[in-house]
Amino acid sequence: MAYNYFDKLDSVARGRYSTKLVLINSDECPYKFPAGVWKNNPSCWPDLQFGDVYSYLIDSPGIFTRASMKSYKSLDAHNYFQSGWVQTVYSYKPSTSAYTILKADVRPSQRLNEEPHYPWVALSGVGSVAVAHCDCLAGLAESCSHIAALLFKVEAAVRLGYTTKLCTELPCKWNADFVKKVQPAPMKDIQFYKTSCVNKAKKVKVGHLSSTQQEQQTLLQTLHACNSKPVVLSTFDNYSDKFQGNFC
Shared-domain flag, residues 180 and 72: yes
Shared-domain flag, residues 173 and 225: no
Shared-domain flag, residues 43 and 104: yes
Of 13-22, 23-32, 195-204, least confident by mean pLDDT is: 195-204
Shared-domain flag, residues 78 and 136: yes
Provide the pLDDT for residue 113. Answer: 66
Residue 226 domain-assigned (yes or no)? yes
As for how many domains the chain has, the answer is 2
Residue 203 domain-assigned (yes or no)? no
Is the distance from CB of 110 to CB of 178 less than 8 angstroms? no
Shared-domain flag, residues 43 and 84: yes
Please give the helix or strand (H or E) that residue 222 lies within, else none: helix 213-224
Shared-domain flag, residues 117 and 92: yes
Provide the pLDDT for residue 115. Answer: 85
Amino acid identity for residue 134 in this structure = C
At 121, give phi and psi (nearest 5°). -135, 150
Residue 248 domain-assigned (yes or no)? no
Provide the pLDDT for residue 103. Answer: 96
Shared-domain flag, residues 191 and 239: no
Average pLDDT score, the chain: 81
Provide the pLDDT for residue 153. Answer: 94
Shared-domain flag, residues 63 and 132: yes
Owning domain of residue 229: 213-243
